[in-house]
Amino acid sequence: MTPDVRDLPLFAAARSSDPTTSHDAAGRISATLSDLQQRVLAAVTAFGPDGATARDVETLPAFAACGPSTCRKRLSELHKAGRLVAVGRRDGMTVYAFPTAHHHAA
């Protein structure tokens, strides 16, 4: 099932089951990102620990009005800023995920 990012808050970097410190950190992150970066981060987070490729994100209805490079550039920016980690490759594309204790940069 493909997540619908329209149902997520812009700063969906912490799950309701996460500790308070995660929610505090999510609040700080959202304060420093552009609206589009927040939406892309929320989309990747919605895919869960397996992460998402640029194609996964850009084909979501919430990004239908964006050009193909729009989401790809935001993913790259978020990765360079340490907000996302590369966790592997799928279909020839980098898979990004929200950093957790389970992830190591690929």
Please report whether residue 106 resides in a domain: no
* Domain containing residue 24: 5-97
Please report whether residue 79 resides in a domain: yes
Q: What percent helix, strand, coil does the chain show, rounded to 5?
A: 45, 10, 45
- CATH code for the domain of 72: 1.10.10.10
Q: How many domains does the chain have?
A: 1
pLDDT recorded at residue 32:
78
- Determine phi and psi for 52, rounding to 5 degrees: -150, 150
pLDDT recorded at residue 31:
60
Please report whether residue 88 resides in a domain: yes
Q: How far apart are CA 71 and CA 89, in angstroms?
A: 17
Please report whether residue 103 resides in a domain: no
Whole-structure pTM value: 0.68
For the chain, residues with pLDDT lower than 50 are 5-12, 105
pLDDT tens per residue across span 67-93: 878 999 999 999 998 899 999 999 999
